[in-house]
């Protein structure tokens, strides 16, 4: 959510983590946010409105059909029409929702078996309600394991980054490196700032960029992840810096869409001005 409770633009929600997801309301418990679905939400929580129920049913049915056709002759066919591409995008969206489970190929086959029975109306081999708690336990266990691996890789990356010339590692774990010196006073945590930025994972995968949108972002400095609050205060207008942010001062073990739990993030930030 943006300051004031406005929703982020629709076009930024699925493709990458937009700036609206870097922003967080003051005092928000990031571990309790709704960006990470529980197993019950992925597999069938019911929307409140009638329209939402119908959309949910339509999307879920389509997703199940797509999942069952994975590996079939359809998978080898090119995406010729916009409908083909839309359905493929739906499959990607569902697959991203299931990433929490870190399924092996054999496990994915079991999932597809359950999907097939649900769509074709075959008699279920188990009662799904009896297994919802176990599904949540499985999701949590897989998420914890994946987060641990991400943290280890992030620690190694941050250690190397801290050895670069001009880099400074702070007590919080932030690695700050000035790329271009600015002029004037540094912003305070309570200031509004205007910035351009690019955010990547440690492997270089870009998850957001104001440069690509050709639109600088303006926000209260105390309304963003702690890494930004701390790092941007070390800059001056006109300056540019690299911030290496461990998950403890970014998105924690849960992550965000396109950002794995436990991930260390790398930002290049250009402070354009302190907004008065």
The verdict on residue 29 lying in a domain is no
Could you tell me if residue 74 is inside a domain? yes
Residue 64 lies in a domain: yes
Cβ–Cβ < 8 Å for 210, 152 = no
Q: Where are the beta strands (DSSP E) in 52-191?
A: 167-169, 175-180
Taking the chain, what is the end-to-end CA distance rounded to the nearest angstrom? 23
What does each of the 276 residues of the chain score in pLDDT, given as a tens digit?
Answer: 233 333 333 333 323 344 444 544 333 433 333 333 433 333 343 344 454 545 444 455 445 545 554 445 555 688 999 999 998 998 888 787 787 788 899 999 998 898 889 889 999 999 999 999 999 999 889 888 989 999 999 999 999 999 999 999 999 999 999 999 999 999 999 999 999 999 999 999 999 999 999 999 999 999 999 999 999 999 999 999 999 999 999 999 888 878 999 999 999 999 999 997
C-alpha closest to that of 40 among 129, 145, 141, 144 = 129
Instruction: State phi, psi for 219 to the nearest 5 degrees.
Output: -160, 160
Residues 251 and 207 in one domain: yes
Of 147, 123, 121, the C-alpha closest to 248 is 147
Does some domain include residue 7? no
Active site residues: 197, 207-208, 225, 251, 267
Does one domain contain both 75 and 184?
Answer: no
Query: pLDDT tens digits, residue range 139-163?
Result: 889 888 989 999 999 999 999 999 9
26 lies in some domain: no
Q: 158 and 106 in one domain?
A: no
For the chain, how many structural domains are there in total?
Answer: 2
Q: Global pTM?
A: 0.65
- The Cα–Cα gap between 201 and 197 comes to 14
Give the pLDDT confidence of 2-23 residue by residue, as tens digits: 333 333 333 333 233 444 445 4
Residue 12 lies in a domain: no
Phi then psi dihedrals of residue 244, to 5 deg: -105, 115
Helix (H/G/I), strand (E/B), else coil: 25: coil
- My answer on whether 198 and 249 are in the same domain is yes
Task: Report if residue 53 sits inside a domain.
Answer: yes
Does one domain contain both 161 and 231?
yes
Q: Which of 159, 267, 254 is nearest to 204 (CA)?
A: 267
Residues 166 and 76 in one domain: no
Dihedral (Cα; 124, 129, 130, 132), 10-degree rounding: 110
Residue-range definition of the domain harbouring residue 44: 39-125
Asked if residue 248 belongs to a domain, the reply is yes
């Amino acid at each position: 959510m943006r300051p004031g409770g406005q929703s982020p633009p629709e076009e930024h929600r699925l493709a990458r983590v937009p700036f609206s997801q870097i922003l967080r309301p003051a005092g928000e418990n990031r571990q309790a946010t709704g960006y990470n679905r529980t197993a019950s939400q992925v597999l069938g929580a019911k929307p409140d409105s009638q329209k939402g129920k119908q959309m949910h049913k339509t999307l879920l049915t389509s997703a199940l059909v797509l999942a069952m056709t994975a590996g079939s002759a359809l998978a080898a066919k090119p995406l010729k029409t916009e409908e083909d591409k839309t359905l493929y995008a739906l499959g990607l969206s569902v697959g991203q929702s299931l990433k929490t489970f870190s399924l092996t190929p054999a496990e994915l086959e079991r999932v597809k078996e359950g999907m097939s029975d649900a769509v074709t109306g075959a008699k279920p081999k188990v009662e799904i309600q009896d297994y919802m708690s176990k599904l949540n336990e499985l999701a949590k266990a897989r998420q914890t394991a994946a987060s641990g691996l991400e943290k280890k890789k992030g620690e190694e990356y941050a250690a190397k980054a801290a050895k670069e010339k001009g880099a400074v590692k702070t007590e919080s774990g932030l690695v700050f490196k000035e790329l271009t010196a600015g002029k004037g006073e540094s912003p305070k945590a309570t200031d509004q700032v205007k910035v351009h930025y690019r955010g990547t994972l440690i492997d270089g995968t870009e998850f957001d960029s104001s440069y690509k949108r050709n639109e600088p972002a303006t926000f209260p400095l105390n309304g963003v992840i702690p890494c930004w609050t701390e790092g941007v205060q070390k800059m001056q207008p006109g300056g540019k810096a690299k911030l290496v942010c461990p998950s403890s001062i970014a998105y924690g073990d849960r992550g965000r869409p396109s950002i794995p739990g436990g991930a260390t993030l790398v930002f290049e930030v250009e402070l354009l001005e302190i907004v008065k």
